[in-house]
Chain A
Amino acid sequence: MTRKEFMQELRDRLSPLPPNEREAALSFYEEYFDEAGPNREQEVIAELGSPASVASRILADHAVKEARESPYNPRKGFSAFWAVLLAVFAAPLAIPAVVLIVGLMIAGIAVVIAIGATAIGLLVGGVALFVSGFFGLFATPATALILFGAAFLLWGLGKIVFVIVGAVLSLLGQTVSWFFDRFKGDSYAR
């Protein structure tokens, strides 16, 4: 192998490098040959080893540097692309689904509010019956006693409804927060 052949093979093997990096490496070896002189040409080639091994050391060093400089980020563009594509194709299904879920949530909240209002109504009605029964106590004792009974019944029912509404509300809150946690977790995992 001559110096020329050596340098040509080295140039070919360093082709993955950016041009300025490659020229810097090649000029180092050109200069080395120049300094050693034409008489030592074969000696230098023997010392250097094959152009392949010289190139692999330089490329390995370059690769290590590249790996250190660019942060590891797998499939970033890829996954963003697929997410957009998926969103576009899922829209005909996803938008009605979201509307449905939101509608159901609003309906559920309305039902809960209605039941809550009923409970308040029962309590207020109970108090009203008790008060009116109290005023009628002496005029019509029997009616008053019926009213008292009805008042206590309404009170009891109101309290039960309150407890049920409270349980439903906390269950709803847990479901919503679970749903959003899950959703958040998924989007972070991607």
Chain B
Amino acid sequence: MIFSINSGLLDACVLAILSRSDEYGYRLTQEVKQVMDISESTLYPVLRRLQKSGWLTTYDQPFQGRNRRYYRITSEGLSQHTLYLSEWKEYRKRIEGIFGGESTL
């Protein structure tokens, strides 16, 4: 992938996925991998950081004799998600302005 992902964008993607429904680690990773070229190893630190920030919580659910750890977005996480969305729209507008040849100055 030509365009690299910074940690802010990665956080925003994880929060966006979890804003729709709770997910467990494997599925969350697969979903993020569809849009980003990341190895699984980078997602655990991201999830842990988001959890420490209070933007998501975890709960365990038994599945075929073992545990699945689900991640759920908190209300703080949802407002952070809203902030990321508006930031992204602003950023996209400026990038597309340059791509489209319009002067934004």
Encode A28-54 as 1/0 by CB contact (under 8 A) with B: 110110111000000010011100011
In B30-61, the 8 Å CB interface with A consists of 39-42, 44-45, 47-49, 52
Could you tell me how many residues of chain B have their Cβ less than 8 Å away from some Cβ of chain A?
19
Q: Is the interface of A mostly helix, strand, loop or mixed?
A: helix
Say whether B49 contacts A61, CB under 8 Å. Answer: yes
In the bound complex, what is the Cα–Cα distance between A65 and B49 (angstroms)? 9
Q: Is the interface of B mostly helix, strand, loop or mixed?
A: helix
The answer, among A34, A36, A58, for a CB contact under 8 Å with B45, is A58
In the bound complex, what is the Cα–Cα distance between A61 and B48 (angstroms)? 9
Say whether A57 contacts B40, CB under 8 Å. Answer: no
In the bound complex, what is the Cα–Cα distance between A24 and B27 (angstroms)? 18
| Min distance, Cβ B37 to any Cβ of chain A, angstroms | 11
Known contacts A36-B26, A65-B52; A29 and B44 CB within 8 A of each other: yes
| Chain B residues positioned under 8 Å from A60 (CB to CB) | 45
| Min distance, Cβ B102 to any Cβ of chain A, angstroms | 39
Say whether B25 contacts A31, CB under 8 Å. Answer: yes
The answer, among B40, B52, B67, for a CB contact under 8 Å with A44, is B40
Known contacts A29-B44, A58-B44, A61-B48; A48 and B39 CB within 8 A of each other: yes
Say whether B41 contacts A54, CB under 8 Å. Answer: yes
Interface assignment of A25: CB less than 8 Å from any CB of chain B: yes
Q: Which residues of B contact A (CB under 8 A)?
A: 24-27, 29, 39-42, 44-45, 47-49, 52, 66-69
- The 7 A-B residue pairs whose C-beta atoms are closest, nearest first, are A35-B26, A61-B45, A54-B41, A28-B44, A48-B41, A47-B39, A57-B45
Given contacts A25-B48, A35-B68, 17 further A-B contacts (CB under 8 A): A24-B48, A25-B44, A31-B66, A31-B67, A31-B68, A31-B69, A32-B26, A34-B66, A35-B26, A44-B40, A47-B40, A48-B41, A57-B42, A57-B45, A58-B44, A60-B45, A61-B49
